[in-house]
């Protein structure tokens, strides 16, 4: 990983981690999901920023990625529950 990306991720972690997790907890009401999605956002930054460059607003980028992951996971869980209920009715 290049030095600029490493420093940007470290700085974003110190400045944004708490804010991202808190926003996700408010949105999802699930502490574990919030932390998992925040971790995934930082992992995605570690994969992408060295090659693509650090975004102009790293905190906003991380929040967007984390929020999208949380929404996707909630949607997936909701669809799983619907399928389980439907399969129970069909059986």
| Tens of pLDDT, residues 7-42 | 999 999 999 999 999 999 999 999 999 999 999 999
Instruction: Please report, for the domain that includes residue 83, its CATH number.
Output: 1.10.1740
Question: What's the domain count of the chain?
Answer: 1
Q: What does the pLDDT look like over 33-48, one tens digit per residue?
A: 999 999 999 999 999 9
pLDDT value of residue 91: 59
Q: Which of 61, 37, 66, 51 is nearest to 5 (CA)?
A: 51
Q: What dihedral do alpha carbons 24, 28, 32, 36 form, nearest 10°? A: -50
Query: Using alpha carbons only, what angle is made at residue 50 by residues 48 and 52, rounded to the nearest 5 degrees?
Result: 60
Structural domain containing residue 31: 3-90
């Amino acid at each position: 990983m290049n030095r600029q990306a490493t420093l940007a991720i470290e700085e974003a972690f110190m400045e944004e981690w708490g804010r991202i997790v808190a926003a996700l907890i408010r949105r999802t009401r699930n502490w574990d999901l919030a932390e998992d999605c925040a971790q995934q956002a930082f992992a995605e930054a570690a994969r992408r920023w060295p090659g693509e460059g650090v975004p102009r607003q790293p905190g906003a980028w991380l929040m967007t990625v984390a929020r999208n992951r949380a929404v996707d996971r909630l949607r997936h869980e909701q669809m799983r529950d619907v399928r389980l209920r439907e399969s129970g009715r069909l059986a």
